């Protein structure tokens, strides 16, 4: 009897636990069926009430599709560009956002942030979707956006955008206008322009090898600088050849605009599917310009001008190698993000007790301009129910408030009040007790950024939106950009052009991985193994030539 009881109990426990495991939303195959991420309440309010919560004009233009909808929870998926991470005051950011947005909407709203690993964001999003977990809104890179836009997953926010309150404060309307497709649909909203990379050079290394940044004007000058950084002991440790000219995260990036970490080598080449001067889609990888760029990289790899670990380095590894305390094995040149990163790189050099002075290299003649990448965007997931009310409510809660010019925009721009920034009188010291010690004193009412929570020796710079790149003006006048960040942004905007548009077609979407693998095989064969560029390119054509032709044919047909 006892045995039977035990077995019965075991069975019941197991069945109960399995039932609990399987108790999730079994209809989560499509976002349309999965509203579980938002605890929402649909109300059948009269049309005049709808205007208050969904935007006057939007409600007026699409009264049949846009009812009143009370969004109680907003789930967003973000990458590392939201710098108020979990260990950096995210809880305070969320709390203040909820208070401010609840007050604006007139009902309580809960913000749930799912922050995924930045370097593996694309695959993490894929895994999320594969599990049927669709957020309400999320950040997408330009390339992801191009792939997802035609799928029907994303909500067309054109009406909501056109009728948004923030239009009156729009500084850079072209950024989002350019995101609209040929039929005027807008599936993503860019809160700032894309930004791009500029080339930073360690001033101390330039001085050590007797060079002046103003004399680096051509590729030959640039290459000569790299060789000197490799061969002439720029770090002064008495050993020649233990440093490199330049370090990068890969010889070619894995997302558009691909060439921005080594623009001086790629020059006029764009090794991806791109449009020529006539607007025809071509494979830029097969051009003579790409072949010439590969030969330049080959020579640099052979000469030690480029750190060989660039082949496998992630951006984090490349960065840390560049500003590491031990400069042996480091490089003098690093092409990285403009603006705020000018300050961040400098801060890291200071932190690691390396001579911190950096100079920005104006684009060499062969490069002409640095590339301003296509902006990352916020997208809203369409639940597919044919009713825009819920999506409009997400737009109102997230994007409309993000660009309110006031409290919420400040949260997205600078973070939480009295956590990341403050207007109260206070003083603090960074790097106390060292020769880098700096005292900051502020009077009451003066906006200022506070020390970073996870690194009290550096000052917080921004949250998600870069104030220098934002598309809508912040009306409260809060600004505390450092001199370097301001100089960095100014330098970039004076020296940039827009990057080519990322391609999109059904075959391209399916075969991106295969094409990228084939491109990397060519780059490795030529640059690392010193192989013949024409033979490697023939192999590329043999491997993916037909796929590329199919992609081009689809893209040109869609023109």
Partner 1 sequence: MKKNKQVITSTGVTVREKPLGLRIWNNRGYYLMFLPVLIFVLIMNYWPMLGIRYAFYDYKPVGQPSWVGLAHFTKMFSTAAFWTAFKNTLELSIMKLIITTFTAVIVSIFLNEMGNLFAKKTLQTVIYLPHFMSWAVVASIFSLLLSPSSTGMINGWLKDLGFIAQEQSGIYFLADSKWWRPIFYVINIWKETGWGTIIFLATLSGINPELYEAADIDGATRLQKIRYVTFPALSNTIITVLILNLAKVMNMFESVFVLYNNAVYDVSDVISTYIYRQTFAIALPNYGYSTAVGLFKSLVGGALVVICNWLSKKTRGRGIV
As a whole number of angstroms, the distance between CA 36 and CA 268 comes to 48
Q: Which is nearer to partner 1, 10 or 91 (CB)?
A: 10
The only residue of 25, 123, 494, 532 in contact with partner 1, by rule CB under 8 A: 123
| DSSP class of 311 | G
3-state secondary structure string across 257-287: CCCCCCHHHHCCCCCCEEECCCCCEEEHHHC
CB atoms closer than 10 angstroms to residue 527: 28
Verify binding: residue 329, partner 1, rule CB under 8 A.
Answer: yes
Verify binding: residue 14, partner 1, rule CB under 8 A.
Answer: yes
Which whole-number Å values give the CA distances from 332 to 202, 213, 325, 341, 530, in the listed order?
Answer: 5, 12, 14, 16, 24
Verify binding: residue 261, partner 1, rule CB under 8 A.
Answer: no
As a whole number of angstroms, the distance between CA 485 and CA 493 comes to 12
The only residue of 143, 159, 233, 347 in contact with partner 1, by rule CB under 8 A: 143
The only residue of 244, 322, 412, 460 in contact with partner 1, by rule CB under 8 A: 244
Q: Which is nearer to partner 1, 57 or 547 (CB)?
A: 547
- Minimum distance from residue 280 beta carbon to partner 1 (Å): 24
Verify binding: residue 314, partner 1, rule CB under 8 A.
Answer: no
Q: Which is nearer to partner 1, 166 or 244 (CB)?
A: 244
The only residue of 455, 521, 554, 556 in contact with partner 1, by rule CB under 8 A: 521
The only residue of 4, 183, 427, 557 in contact with partner 1, by rule CB under 8 A: 4
Verify binding: residue 27, partner 1, rule CB under 8 A.
Answer: no
The only residue of 38, 66, 147, 287 in contact with partner 1, by rule CB under 8 A: 147
Q: Which is nearer to partner 1, 244 or 281 (CB)?
A: 244
As a whole number of angstroms, the distance between CA 249 and CA 258 comes to 11
CB atoms closer than 10 angstroms to residue 314: 12
The only residue of 130, 277, 439, 557 in contact with partner 1, by rule CB under 8 A: 130
* 517 phi/psi in degrees, rounded to 5: -60, -40
- Minimum distance from residue 18 beta carbon to partner 1 (Å): 6
Sort strands 137-140 and 197-202 into parallel, antiparallel or unpaired: unpaired
* 396 phi/psi in degrees, rounded to 5: -65, -40
Q: How far, rounded to the nearest angstrom, does the alpha carbon of residue 550 sit from its chain's CA centroid? A: 30
The only residue of 27, 30, 280, 476 in contact with partner 1, by rule CB under 8 A: 30
The only residue of 328, 434, 454, 553 in contact with partner 1, by rule CB under 8 A: 328
**Count residues contacting partner 1 (CB under 8 A)?**
59
Nearest Cα residue to 463 out of 431, 415, 430: 415
- What are 337's strand-pairing partners? 197
24-46: burial string, b at 16+ Cβ within 10 Å, e else: eeeebeebbbbbbbbebeeeebe
The only residue of 106, 126, 173, 368 in contact with partner 1, by rule CB under 8 A: 126
- Minimum distance from residue 513 beta carbon to partner 1 (Å): 4
As a whole number of angstroms, the distance between CA 155 and CA 162 comes to 14
Sort strands 273-275 and 281-283 into parallel, antiparallel or unpaired: antiparallel
- The burial class, CB within 10 Å (0-12 / 13-18 / 19+), for 179 is buried
Verify binding: residue 380, partner 1, rule CB under 8 A.
Answer: no
Q: Which is nearer to partner 1, 113 or 379 (CB)?
A: 379
Quick check: 224 and 305 in contact, CB under 8 A?
no
Verify binding: residue 307, partner 1, rule CB under 8 A.
Answer: yes
Q: Which is nearer to partner 1, 26 or 278 (CB)?
A: 26
Q: Which is nearer to partner 1, 76 or 496 (CB)?
A: 76
Verify binding: residue 543, partner 1, rule CB under 8 A.
Answer: yes
As a whole number of angstroms, the distance between CA 448 and CA 512 comes to 45
Verify binding: residue 517, partner 1, rule CB under 8 A.
Answer: yes
Verify binding: residue 514, partner 1, rule CB under 8 A.
Answer: yes
The only residue of 242, 406, 473, 554 in contact with partner 1, by rule CB under 8 A: 242
Verify binding: residue 528, partner 1, rule CB under 8 A.
Answer: yes
- Each residue 55-94 as x (binds partner 1 by CB under 8 A) or -, in order, gives ----------------------------------------
Nearest Cα residue to 59 out of 378, 403, 391: 391
Mark the segment that binds partner 1 (CB under 8 A) among 78-86, 234-242, 288-296, 367-375: 234-242
Quick check: 467 and 413 in contact, CB under 8 A?
yes
Binding site for partner 1 (CB under 8 A): 3-4, 6-8, 10-11, 13-15, 18, 22, 29-31, 120, 122-123, 126-127, 129-130, 143-144, 147-148, 151-153, 239, 241-244, 254, 302, 304, 307-309, 311-312, 326, 328-329, 509-510, 512-514, 516-517, 520-521, 523-524, 528-529, 543
């Amino acid at each position: 009897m006892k045995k039977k009881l035990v077995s019965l109990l075991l069975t019941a426990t197991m069945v109960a636990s399995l039932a609990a495991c399987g108790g999730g939303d079994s209809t989560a195959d499509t976002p349309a069926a999965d509203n579980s991420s938002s605890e929402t309440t649909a109300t059948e309010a009269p049309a005049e009430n709808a205007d208050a919560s969904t935007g006057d004009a939007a409600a007026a233009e699409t009264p049949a599709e846009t009812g009143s909808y009370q969004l109680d929870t907003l789930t967003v998926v973000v990458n590392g560009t939201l710098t108020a991470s979990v260990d950096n005051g995210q809880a305070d950011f969320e709390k203040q956002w909820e208070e401010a947005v609840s007050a604006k909407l007139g009902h309580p709203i809960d913000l749930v942030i799912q922050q995924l690993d930045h370097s593996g964001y694309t695959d993490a999003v894929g895994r999320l979707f594969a599990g049927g977990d669709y957020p309400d809104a999320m950040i997408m890179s330009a390339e992801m956006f191009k792939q997802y836009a035609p799928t029907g997953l994303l909500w067309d926010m054109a009406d909501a955008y056109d009728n948004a309150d923030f239009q009156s404060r729009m500084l850079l309307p072209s950024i989002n206008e350019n995101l609209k497709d040929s039929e005027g649909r807008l599936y993503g909203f860019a809160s700032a322009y894309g930004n791009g990379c500029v080339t930073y050079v360690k001033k101390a290394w330039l001085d050590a090898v007797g060079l002046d940044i103003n004399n680096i004007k051509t590729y030959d000058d640039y290459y000569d600088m790299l060789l000197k950084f490799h061969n002439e002991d720029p770090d002064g440790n008495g050993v020649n050849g233990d440093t490199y000219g330049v370090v990068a995260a890969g010889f070619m990036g894995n997302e558009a605009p691909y060439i921005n970490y080594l623009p001086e080598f790629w020059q006029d080449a764009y090794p991806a599917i791109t449009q020529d001067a006539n607007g025809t889609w071509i494979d830029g990888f097969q051009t003579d310009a790409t072949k010439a760029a590969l030969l330049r990289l080959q020579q640099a790899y052979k000469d030690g001008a480029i750190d060989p670990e660039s082949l496998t380095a992630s951006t984090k590894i490349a960065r840390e190698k560049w500003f590491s305390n031990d400069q042996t094995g480091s490089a003098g040149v690093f092409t990285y993000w403009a603006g705020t990163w000018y300050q961040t790189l400098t801060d890291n050099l200071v932190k690691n007790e390396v001579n911190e002075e950096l100079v920005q290299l104006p684009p060499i003649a062969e490069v002409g301009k640095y590339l301003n990448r296509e902006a990352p965007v916020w997208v809203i997931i369409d639940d597919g129910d044919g009713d825009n009310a819920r999506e409009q409510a997400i737009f109102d809660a997230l994007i409309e408030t993000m660009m309110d010019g006031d409290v919420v925009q400040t949260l997205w721009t600078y973070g939480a009040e009295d956590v990341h920034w403050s207007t109260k009188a206070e003083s603090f010291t960074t790097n106390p007790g060292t020769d880098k010690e700096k005292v900051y004193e502020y009077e009451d009412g003066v906006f200022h950024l506070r020390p970073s929570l996870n690194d009290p020796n550096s000052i917080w710079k921004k949250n998600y939106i870069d104030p220098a790149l934002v598309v809508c003006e912040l009306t409260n006048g809060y600004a505390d950009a450092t001199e370097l960040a301001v100089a960095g942004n100014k330098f970039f905007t004076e020296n940039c052009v827009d990057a080519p548009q990322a391609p999109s077609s059904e075959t391209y979407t399916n075969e991106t991985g295969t094409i990228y693998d084939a491109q990397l095989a060519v780059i490795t064969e030529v640059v690392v193994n010193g192989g013949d560029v024409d033979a490697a390119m023939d192999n590329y054509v043999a491997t993916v030539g037909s796929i590329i032709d199919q992609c081009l044919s689809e893209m040109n047909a869609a023109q």
